[in-house]
A and B are shown apart, each in its own frame.
Chain A
C-alpha cells in the first residue's frame, strides 16, 4: 500500500515537472515574441517624432505679411533657431521666453535679429536653464513699435544626455610619467560644438589655481593641449611648481557664452629629491560631472524632406536619406552583378559536374567544405579582405601621391589653370599629366568662359585695356594642373575607397550564401528529369541548360533575393571599405566615387550626440526594414507561384 502511495506521489511529481517545463517553454517563447515587439516599437517610437508627426510649430498668425510656416527648432547645441519666418523687410524681431510655472512673470528677451531685405530671417537665441518655457516672438518696426506678437509655444529643456566634453581615453587611466614622458604627454579629448573653446583649469590640493590652458575644438570635434604647454605650466626652472594632486578640469564655452561642466582628471605630482619625479595621472570617477544642454523638441522635418534630402552636420531638421537610398541601390546592383553569375555557376559545378576521378572528387569535397566554412567567416574579415584586395589592390599599383594624378586611369581630363591679368580664370589644355606646372612664355591656346582664344603674354599691365587684360598674362606666369570633372565611367587602379570596391566586398560576403541556396534549389530538381534528358542524348551542359536550370530558377531566384537583402542590411564591410561617409550629395558621380548606404547612416546617426539624429536613425531603420520586407515578399511570391505551377 505504501509503495503504491509513493508511486502515486512520484507520478504526480513527474506530471508536475512536465507541466512546469511546458510553462517555462511558453514563457521563453513569449520572451522571444516580446523582444521582437519591443524592438519594433522602440524603432517606431524613436521615429515617431522624427518624420511622421513633425512638430513644425506655427509661431505667428497669418497676417501682416507673416507666413504661417514659421517654425521654432533647435540644433543640439545651446542655441535656438527660428527658421524661415517672414515679416516686413528690415524690421526688427525679438524672441522672448518665460518659465511656464511663473505665470505672472514678464518674459525675458533671449535673442533678436533684423529681418533681411526679403523680410525673411533667422534668430539665434541664448540658452536657457533647465525647465519648461513659454517662448514667443515679436516683430517691431524701425521705430521700435510692436507690430505683431506670435502665439507662444512650449519648449522643454532637459540636460541629461551624457555625451559631450570628454577627455581622450588615451589620456585617462592610471599612468606614471617620468619627466621625459611628461614632455610627450598630450592631453586631448572631444567636445560636441565645433565653435566652442575648451579651457583646462588646473588647481592644486588647496584650491589654488595653477593656471589655465586653452584649446579650440577642431572640425572633427576633437581638442588637444599642446604637449609642451602642460610641461611649461607645471615645471619652472626644472622645479615642479606645485606638489601633490593637481586637478585638471575641462570647461567648454560655446559662442553664446554657456559654460559646460566637464570631466576632471587628477594629476598626481610627487616631488622626489627636490626634482620633478613621476607624474601619476588617474581618472577620478567622483569628479565626472557632465552636463550638456539637450532639447526635447524633435527636428521639425517632414517625410518629404527626409526622403529627398541628404545629411547635414548639426542639422537633423533638414537631413534625409536620399543619398543613402541611392548608395544602397548601387551597392546592391554591383553586388548582384558580381555574385549572381559566379554563385549560380559554382552551384551548377558543385551539383551537376561531380567528377569521377578520385583526386578531383577530393578537390570537389574540399571546395564544398570551403564554401560551408566561408559562410561562417565574420563579415568584418571580408571587409579587411576587400580593403586589401579592392581598395589598395595588394599595393600592386603604386598609389598616387598627393597633388599628383593617378597612374592607371581613364575617363578624366587634365588642364592647367591660370589667372589672367583681368582676373579671369582660364584653362590651358594639358598634354603630359605628370608635369604638374607649366610656365607661360609665349602665346598659347586657352579656354575661358567665352570659348577658345589665344592667351597673350605681356611684360607689364601698364596701358592695357580691360579687354586686353582679360586675355593676357605676365611673361613667365606659372599655371598648375587641375583635374577636370571625371566622366561617369572614370576608372582607375587601384579602386580606392569607392562604391565599386564596397559592392564587390559585399559580393564576397553573400557569395557563399547564394551558392548554398542555389545548390539546394538545383538539388531539388528530380533526377528523373536529368536521366530523361541524358537518355535523349543531351550532354551534361545541355541537360543543365535546358532541363535543370529552368526548373530550378524559382528556387535560385528566391535564394538570391534573400541573399541580396542580407547584403543591403550589411554595414561592417561597407564601413571598412568606405570609412563611414554619410554625406554624398547627389550620389556617386563616377565608378570610383564613394557613396553612403542605409545601414551606414543608421549607424552614424544612432551614434550622433544629437537626439534629433536618433529619431532620424529610427526613421531610416523603418525605411530599411520596409525595403527588406519588399524584397522578402517578392521572394515569397516567386516561391508561391512556382509551387502552384508544379502542382
Chain B
C-alpha cells in the first residue's frame, strides 16, 4: 500500500491518530455478539431445562412399578408423601389419580374467574369508555397497586379475613375452603384482565366509535355493540391469560385452600390444588431424589405446566388469529 500518505503529509488535525487494527476490532465485535447471543440462549435453555426436567422425572414416575398411567388419569384418590417411610413401614397405600388435585385447581380457578372476569372486564370498559379523567387517574394506580401486591399477602388476606369473617359466618364453610382462596385469586386476576382488556379496547380506532355515535347510538350501544366486538380477541386472550395465572397461582392456595385433596364440587370444603401439593410436599423432610413422592411432584408439575402452557399458547393464537386490524 504505497499510496498510504505518510504522517508528515497529513494535516495537523489528523496527525498522531491511534489506529486500531480492523481485524482486532472485528474479532472484538464478534466476541461481543457471541456473548450477547449466549445470553439470549439462556432463555431458550431455561425452557429446554424445564421441559427436560419435567419429562425425565415424570418418566421415572410413570414407569415405576407401583404406578399405572391409567390410574393417574382416571378418577380416584390422591395419597402421597403423607405416609412417610418411618420405622421401616412401607407405604403400601399409594393412590395416584390426578383428579382430586386437578379438580381442586379447577374449583379455585372457577371461583376466581367468576370474580375476575366480570369485574376485570367491566372496570376495563369503565376505564376506557366511561370514566372521567379524574376517576381514571385514581383507579389506574389502584389497579397497579393491586397488581403489585405479593401473592402471599393475598393468601394471608384469604386465610385470616375472607374465610373467618366473610364465609364461615355464612355457615357450612370449613375454615380452609376453596371459595376463600378463589376469591383472593380472583382479586389477583382483576388488574391483569382489566389492563390487558383496556389495552385492546383502546386499540379500537376512534373512527368506529364516532361512526356509531353518529348513527345515534348511546354510549352503551357503542360499547357493547361496536367496541367490545372489535376488541373481542384481546379480551378473550386476557381471560385466557388470567385463567393460566389462576391455575398456576401457588401461595394463596397453599395458605387458604387447605391440604386435603378431594374430588368434589363442594366449594365450601378444603381443596388442595396441584401447586398447593407441590409446595406442601417440598416442605416435608425426606423428599429426596429417587423416591416416589419426589418424582410425583414432577408428574404433577408436568400436568400443571402442560395446562398453563397450552392455555397461554391458545391465548396467543386467539389474539393473532382473530385480531381485527385497522390499518
Contacts and interface: CB of A to CB of B under 8 A. Distances in A.
Interface stretch (B38-46, B61-69, B204-212): B38-46
A170 B83 contact: yes
A575 interface: yes
B126 A29 contact: yes
A583 to B, nearest CB: 14
A618 B304 contact: no
A350 interface: yes
Interface stretch (A96-104, A305-313, A339-347, A471-479): A339-347
Contacts of B305: 377-378, 381
A373 B47 contact: yes
Contacts of A607: 159, 255
B40 to A, nearest CB: 4
Interface stretch (A193-201, A292-300, A564-572): A564-572
A524 interface: no
Interface stretch (B2-10, B11-19, B106-114, B217-225): B217-225
Contacts of B151: 569, 571-572
A511 B43 contact: yes
A572 B49 CA distance: 19
Given A18-B218, A170-B79, A380 B187 contact: no
A571 B252 CA distance: 10
B221 to A, nearest CB: 7
B206 to A, nearest CB: 19
Contacts of A22: 130, 219-220
A32 B40 contact: no
Contact of A384 (B119, B156, B301): B301
A349 B37 contact: yes
B57 to A, nearest CB: 7
Contacts of A353: 33, 36-37
A51 to B, nearest CB: 16
Contact of B247 (A15, A162, A378, A394): A378
Interface in A523-540: 539-540
B214 interface: no
Contacts of B275: 378, 380, 572
B188 to A, nearest CB: 11
A392 B244 CA distance: 29
A35 interface: yes
B154 interface: yes
Nearest to B90: A184
A575 B313 CA distance: 28
B146 interface: yes
Contact of B36 (A162, A345, A572, A602): A345
Contacts of A625: 149, 153
Interface stretch (A38-46, A82-90, A429-437, A551-559): A38-46
A15 B46 contact: no
Contacts of B160: 42, 46, 606, 614, 617-618
Interface in B103-143: 118-119, 122-123, 125-126, 130-131, 135, 138-139, 142-143
Nearest to B301: A384
Interface in B256-284: 259-260, 275, 278-279, 282-283
A282 to B, nearest CB: 14
Nearest to A169: B260
B23 interface: no
Contact of A376 (B25, B40, B244): B244
B283 A579 contact: yes
B312 A508 contact: no
A541 B26 CA distance: 10
A14 interface: yes
A349 B36 CA distance: 6
Contacts of B118: 28
Contact of B220 (A14, A46, A511): A14
A25 B126 contact: yes
A392 B289 contact: yes
Q: Which of B221, B248, B279, B313 counts the most A-chain CB atoms under 10 A from its CB?
A: B279
A127 interface: no
A168 interface: yes
Nearest to A27: B122
A238 to B, nearest CB: 22
Contacts of A508: 46
A395 interface: yes
A17 B43 contact: no
Interface string A383-404: 1110111001011000100000
B148 interface: yes
Interface string A7-30: 000000011011001101110110
B100 to A, nearest CB: 11
B231 interface: no
Contact of B40 (A26, A184, A349, A380): A349
B152 A599 contact: yes
B81 to A, nearest CB: 10
A381 B190 CA distance: 23
Contacts of B241: 376
A381 B282 contact: no
B122 A25 contact: yes
Contacts of B32: 541
A380 B278 contact: yes
* Residue of A163, A170, A350, A382 contacting most chain B CB atoms (<10 Å): A170
B53 A385 contact: yes
B282 A383 contact: yes
Contact of B282 (A18, A569, A575, A606): A575
The winner among B282, B298, B305, B313 for most chain A CB atoms within 10 A is B282
A180 B33 CA distance: 68
Interface in B270-320: 275, 278-279, 282-283, 285, 289, 297-298, 301, 304-305, 308-309, 312-313, 316
B29 interface: yes
Contacts of A42: 157, 160-161
Contacts of B54: 381, 384
A385 B46 contact: yes
B236 to A, nearest CB: 16
Nearest to A171: B82
B139 A33 contact: yes
A377 to B, nearest CB: 7
Interface in A350-389: 350, 353, 366-367, 370-374, 376-385, 387-389
Contact of B148 (A25, A348, A632): A632
Contact of B312 (A14, A373, A395): A373
B229 interface: no
A632 B35 CA distance: 31
A43 B142 contact: no
A576 interface: yes
A607 B280 CA distance: 12
B198 interface: no
Nearest to B86: A224
B53 A384 contact: yes
Nearest to A606: B156
Contacts of B41: 367
A14 B153 contact: no
B93 interface: yes
A490 interface: no
Contacts of B46: 374, 385, 508, 511
A276 interface: no
Contacts of B159: 606-607
Interface in A491-532: 508, 511-512, 515
A385 to B, nearest CB: 5
Contacts of B143: 32
Interface in A289-347: 341-343, 345-346
Q: Which A-B residue pairs are the 7 nearest by beta carbons?
A: A378-B248, A569-B150, A345-B39, A25-B126, A349-B36, A18-B220, A572-B250
25 contacts: A18-B218, A18-B220, A25-B125, A28-B119, A28-B126, A32-B143, A39-B161, A162-B175, A170-B83, A345-B38, A349-B33, A380-B301, A380-B304, A388-B53, A399-B289, A511-B46, A539-B29, A540-B33, A569-B152, A572-B254, A575-B282, A579-B282, A579-B285, A606-B152, A606-B160
